[in-house]
Amino acid sequence: MNRIEQRFADLKARGESAFIPYITGGDPSLAQTKAIVLALEAAGADVIELGVPFSDPVGDGPTIQEASQRALAAGTSPQKMLALVADLRKETEVPLLLFSYYNPIIAYGVEAFVKDAAAAGADGILCVDLPPEEADAYKATLDASGLCSVFLTAPTTTNERLAIIGKQCSGFVYYISRLGVTGAREDLVTDLKQAVDRIKTHTQKPVAVGFGISKPEHAREVGGLAEGVVVGSAIVKLIGETGDTPELAERVRTFAQPLAEAAKAAAAPA
């Protein structure tokens, strides 16, 4: 059981949902990313998604696309991302999930990337655009290195495909609650409970919900329905607006803490 699996087991025992923030690695710099990870842990993050910047992030909206461009312009690479993970492991045991498109992993070499990620101290990989039907060899490589393999499911995912995703996932299943690209929203979708319940009929893995969550009231609602609450674009937007300034990490911590508290309180036992 790696850090991600252990964290979900611990949260289940306490009757709490996980707060899972996403940030783009290297935005605005690798040094700031390290400070932000530690700030998010202090705010109550249970698992942190570290985005590996990519030049063509077709599943992401403008906020995260722009963050990837900033990170690439700053010289961030997969190799530097793994070095960052290794550096973080000197100071924290917070579960770290690498969030990447398949192209950078192929360019690095799948087996080499997985091996180096595990050696650096990563706990899993979420590969955005790798179809789970074609991921047997990839998943076997992650399994052999003790890394979780996380896949996405969407409102349009068929029951047949949900069963495949449930089998291929370890750690948790990531449910995209909206069609389209990433981005903060004012309101949540209305059929969230039914969607999460349907996923749970096809897998025993924890379910984390993302896409559009930006406020504590969102986190509280989602935390009452699923085992995990993912917040990405709202945090990335704040990073972009604040820029490479001394107060960046503290601003992120201040923003994230109420979200973490709401997510955990929602599912806390009476």
**Lowest-pLDDT range of 30-34, 43-47, 60-64, 235-239:** 60-64
Judged against a pLDDT cut of 50, whether residue 136 lies above it is answered with: yes
Q: Which amino acid is at 31?
A: A
**How far is residue 15 CA from its own chain's centroid?**
21
- pLDDT classification of 185: cutoffs 50, 70, 90: very low
Determine which one of 5, 16, 27, 49 is catalytic. 49
pLDDT band with cut points at 50, 70 and 90 for residue 267? low
**What are residue 231's DSSP bridge partners?**
21
Q: What is the mean pLDDT of residues 241-264?
A: 97
CB-CB contact of 145 with 118 (8 Å): yes
Higher pLDDT, 40 or 218: 40
Q: Over the stretch 157-173, which tens digit does the pLDDT of each residue have?
A: 999 999 999 999 999 99
Banded model confidence at residue 178, pLDDT cuts 50, 70, 90 = low
Determine what percent of the chain is predicted with pLDDT higher than 90: 86
CB atoms within 10 A of CB 70: 21
Is the pLDDT at 200 greater than 60, yes or no?
A: yes
What is the pLDDT, as a whole number, of residue 183?
A: 42
Calculate mean pLDDT across residues 52-71.
91
Distance CA 192, CA 177 (A): 7
Average pLDDT on 17-37 reads 98
Whether residue 179 is predicted with pLDDT greater than 60 in this model: the reply is no
What strands, in cross-sheet order, belong to the sheet with 207-210? 148-150, 124-127, 96-100, 48-51, 18-24, 228-231, 207-210, 173-176, 152-153
| Token pair of 214 as six digits | 């930006």
Nearest-CA neighbor of 51 among 21, 12, 73, 88? 21
129 pLDDT above the threshold of 90: yes
pLDDT value for 219: 92
Kindly state the average pLDDT of the residues 196-211: 93
186 is an active site residue = no
- Among 5, 16, 27, 60, the active-site one is 60
Does 60 qualify as catalytic in the annotation?
Answer: yes
CATH architecture label of 3-266: Alpha-Beta Barrel (3.20)
Mean pLDDT of the chain: 92
d(CA 34, CA 88): 7
pLDDT higher than threshold 50 for residue 43: yes
